[in-house]
Each structure stands twice: as structure tokens, then as C-alpha cells.
């Protein structure tokens, strides 16, 4: 079945460092891809999405490009802030139910 694999955390960075969180997927069709973020004490929020190959999703300085050839959707940010500390989940939606299949999450800790 469909699945998502993302890099294990925690990832610890200094403020203004470059961030990459790797995400790869397995799907039989042409899924939509998502990054969700969970800030401490809060619910899941959609960060960005891409619905077809070569699409780039972006929001709040974060970017991810839908790479069909490598089945990847890596999350990047050029300069992280302390306020970016959270758990990040990669997810896909691959059928008519639109149910989400999530990776296990990557905790990001940004130090001042």
C-alpha cells in the first residue's frame, strides 16, 4: 500500500541555519503531497502542498518540490527561526477518499 518515509529526528539547528527534512513516498497512482506542522500544544496545521509532479509548494519561507522521478518531497527553508521549532509531518493523499497517509514526523529544535 501507499506509504511515506521521512527522516528521523530530532533535528537540532542554530537560528538562521539551512533546513532540509527528507521525505520519500510510495504510491500506486499520482498522489497529492503535503507537509503538516504541529507546534507545541497545538493541532496539526497544513504548511504547504503540491498536487502534481514538479509543483512547488511554499509557505512561511518553507518550500518543497514534488519530484516524481525520485518519489520525494523534501522540505527546505533557507534560514530557520526559533519559532519554527515543531514537529513536521510529510503526508500523501492518493485515492478518492482523500485520506491522508502520514510519515512518522520529524522534530525540529532551533536554538538561538
Toward another protein, which CB reaches closer, 22 or 105? 105
User: What is the C-alpha to C-alpha distance for residues 92 and 53, in angstroms, rounded to an integer?
Assistant: 13
- The 10 Å CB-count burial string (b at 16+, else e) for 91-106 is bbbbeeeeebbebebb
Q: State in angstroms the smallest separation of the CB of 6 from another protein.
A: 8
Inter-CA distances, 10 with 13, 58, 105, Å: 10, 23, 9
Toward another protein, which CB reaches closer, 8 or 15? 8
Q: State in angstroms the smallest separation of the CB of 57 from another protein.
A: 11
Binding site for another protein (CB under 8 A): 4, 32, 36, 42-46, 49, 51, 89, 91, 93, 97-105
Secondary structure element (H or E) that encloses residue 91, with its range? strand 86-93
Q: State in angstroms the smallest separation of the CB of 16 from another protein.
A: 28
Query: How many alpha carbons lie under 13 Å from residue 104 in its C-beta half-sphere?
Result: 6
Toward another protein, which CB reaches closer, 13 or 105? 105
Q: State in angstroms the smallest separation of the CB of 102 from another protein.
A: 3
Amino acid at each position: 500500500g501507499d506509504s511515506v518515509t521521512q527522516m528521523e529526528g530530532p533535528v537540532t539547528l542554530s537560528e538562521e541555519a539551512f533546513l532540509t527534512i527528507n521525505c520519500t513516498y510510495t504510491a500506486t497512482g499520482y498522489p497529492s503531497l503535503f507537509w503538516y506542522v504541529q507546534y507545541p500544544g497545538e493541532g496539526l496545521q497544513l504548511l504547504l502542498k503540491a498536487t502534481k509532479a514538479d509543483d512547488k509548494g511554499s509557505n512561511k519561507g518553507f518550500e518543497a518540490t514534488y519530484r516524481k522521478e525520485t518519489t520525494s518531497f523534501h522540505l527546505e527553508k533557507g534560514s530557520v527561526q526559533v519559532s519554527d521549532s515543531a514537529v513536521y509531518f510529510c503526508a500523501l493523499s492518493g485515492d478518492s477518499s482523500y485520506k491522508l497517509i502520514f510519515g512518522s514526523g520529524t522534530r525540529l529544535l532551533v536554538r538561538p
